[in-house]
Amino acid sequence: MAITGIMLACFIMGACTSPAQEKNKPTASVKEFAAIEKGMSYEEVKKIVGSEGERFSETGKGTNNHKFVYVWDGDKGGQSFIHITFRNNKVLSKQGKQMQ
């Protein structure tokens, strides 16, 4: 009965995370970088990486050529990162440093 109460409390408070959530850190891994494909939405990329990233630049807002760039730190420390360019909310290109 006590376990059921704890589980219910976790559910209500949103304090518990699944093992998958615990493993996915806000930094980008090599595996996550490889999973990002041209044409994916920003929401799909966020879900893969596990965080929102940092908006680096944005141009053409309100046009049919809206581009924005997000950057995520890499999980290898140092200077590792990924740089994803979106056009009209779809991945246009991706670059990574120390992501091999």
55 is a domain residue: yes
76 is a domain residue: yes
73 touches 80 (CB < 8 A) = yes
Per residue in 15-74, pLDDT (tens digit) is 444 444 445 567 899 999 999 999 999 999 999 999 999 999 999 999 999 999 999 999
63 is a domain residue: yes
7 is a domain residue: no
CATH of the domain at 93: 3.30.1450.10
Per residue in 68-89, pLDDT (tens digit) is 999 999 988 878 999 999 999 9
Tokens of 56: 């680096």
Q: Can you give the residue range of the structural domain that contains 70?
A: 25-97
3 is a domain residue: no
Distance in angstroms (rounded) separating the CA atoms of residues 92 and 6:
45
Can you give the pTM of this predicted structure? Answer: 0.72
74 is a domain residue: yes
88 is a domain residue: yes
Domain count for the chain: 1
Distance in angstroms (rounded) separating the CA atoms of residues 68 and 57:
6
Those residues with Cβ within 8 angstroms of residue 80's Cβ, 6 or more apart along the chain or in another chain: 73, 74, 96, 97, 98, 99
What would you report as the CA-atom Rg of the chain, rounded to the nearest whole angstrom? 17
